[in-house]
A = this chain, B = another copy of it.
Amino acid sequence: MEINTAISALGALAQEHRLAAFRLLVRVGEDGMAAGDLARSLAVPHNTMSTHLSVLSQAGLITSQRNGRSIIYRIVPDVMRDLLGFLADDCCQGRPELCGIAVPGKTSTSTCC
C-alpha cells in the first residue's frame, strides 16, 4: 500500500460519523446499506452523511452502486486488509512482539513477520 493511500484511509476513518458509518458497513457486509438508511441509523442529516460517504469513497474504503432511487454503499474488503497490513508492517520488521498480529498469506510464513 502506498503511503498516500494509507494517509487518506486513516484520515477518512479519523472522524466520528465516518468511523461509525464504516463500521456499520463492515458489519452488514456485502448487502451494503443505502445512504439514507445510514444517515437515519446514525442520526446524521442526509447531506452531511453524503459528504462523509464521499470521503470514505474517495479513500477507496467503500464503493457505491445505484439501486433504483437508493444508492447502496458497501465496504471494499481489500483496502481495509491492506491498511491493517500496512500498519502492521513496520513493527514486524524486527520487533514482531510490538504488533502482535498475524497476516495470513503475507509471505511464505503464516504470520506477518
- State how many residues of chain A have any CB contact under 8 Å with chain B: 40
Q: Contact between A26 and B90 (Cβ–Cβ < 8 Å)? A: yes
Q: Contact between B99 and A102 (Cβ–Cβ < 8 Å)? A: no
- Residue numbers in B under 8 Å from A6 (CB-CB): 19
Q: Is A69 an interface residue (CB 8 A)?
A: no
- Residue numbers in B under 8 Å from A100 (CB-CB): 77, 81, 84, 103-105
| Per-residue B-contact encoding for A1-36, CB less than 8 Å = 1, 0 else | 001001110110111100100010011010000000
Which chain A residues numbered 29 to 82 have a C-beta less than 8 Å away from chain B?
29, 75, 77, 80-81
Among B15, B87, B90, B105, contact of A7 (Cβ-Cβ < 8 Å)? B15
Q: Contact between A7 and B19 (Cβ–Cβ < 8 Å)? A: yes
Closest to A103 in B: B101
- CB within 8 Å for A87 and B83 given contacts A98-B26, A100-B104: yes
Cα distance, A13 to B12, chains bound together (Å): 11
- Residue numbers in B under 8 Å from A77 (CB-CB): 91, 97-100
5 closest cross-chain pairs (CB), A and B: A11-B14, A10-B14, A102-B102, A77-B98, A26-B90
